[in-house]
Amino acid sequence: MSSIDLVILGIVLEKPQSAYEIQKDVEYHHFSRWTKVSVPSVYRKVLQLTEQGYLRSEIVKGDKSADKAVYSITERGRAYFRTLMAACAADPVPIRFDFNVVIANLNKLDKAEAMELVVSLRQSLQSSAEMNERYAREFADIPLVGRTIFEQQRLLYRALLEWLEQFEGQYLQE
């Protein structure tokens, strides 16, 4: 399952756009914050989806700028979009956090060093939570789906911070 395929097809399903406009839409919706979509990969993926018959391009004459290719979704692309949506909804939800590797290896350090890393993890999580709050306030006017994702992240950060606090307490008692 390719989340970038799903993102791009969803954007183009809404309205035909150039690759640059798709990339700007990805940035505007902060897709890279919650899924594996990088801005440079958008251009490559648009071309790939076109080659596979999921998108089609039409050259549009620019008024003051150069001509540009505008991409729209094909019927085959609509079917692929629905298939991806169903597959993604049915897949188990993996939850992977890079800091788990740090947690798993704390016992290989002395307790003082380990506790410094736990404090650093807590600060990093707190910083991420605060950034998420700022984004949520800044983009309060985005549609319900976007606001829901910010709320999901807010709850996740809160739960992770609570868990880390409990872990720290247990770790100190050992």
For the chain, the domains span: 3-90, 99-173
Q: Write down the residue that tokens 């939570």 correspond to.
A: 129
Average of per-residue pLDDT across 8-25:
93
Average of per-residue pLDDT across 22-32:
83
Residues in the chain: 174
Tokens representing 63 are 């008024």
Of 145 and 31, which is predicted with more confidence? 31
**What is the predicted pLDDT for the residue at 56?**
97
Q: Please name the residue ranges forming H helices in 17-74.
A: 19-28, 31-34, 39-51
Total Cβ atoms within 10 A of residue 102: 15
pLDDT digits (tens, 9 = 90+) for 48-103: 999 999 999 999 887 777 888 999 999 999 999 999 999 988 887 777 777 888 88
Decide if pLDDT at 24 tops 80: yes
Please state, in angstroms and rounded to a whole number, the distance separating the CA atoms of residues 64 and 77: 31
**What is the predicted pLDDT for the residue at 152?**
82
Of 44 and 173, which is predicted with more confidence? 44
Decide if pLDDT at 9 tops 90: yes
Please state, in angstroms and rounded to a whole number, the distance separating the CA atoms of residues 83 and 71: 20
Decide if pLDDT at 1 tops 60: no
Please state, in angstroms and rounded to a whole number, the distance separating the CA atoms of residues 31 and 167: 31
The DSSP symbol for 19 reads H
Class of domain 3-90: mainly alpha
**What is the predicted pLDDT for the residue at 92?**
79
- Is-contact 84 9, C-beta < 8 A? yes
Residues 6 or more apart whose CB falls under 8 angstroms from that of 87 comprise 1
Decide if pLDDT at 146 tops 70: no
Phi/psi region, residue 137 (left: phi>0; alpha: psi -120 to 50; beta: rest), is: alpha
Query: 3-state class of 141 per DSSP?
Result: coil
pLDDT band at 145 (very low <50, low <70, confident <90, very high): low
Please state, in angstroms and rounded to a whole number, the distance separating the CA atoms of residues 139 and 29: 9
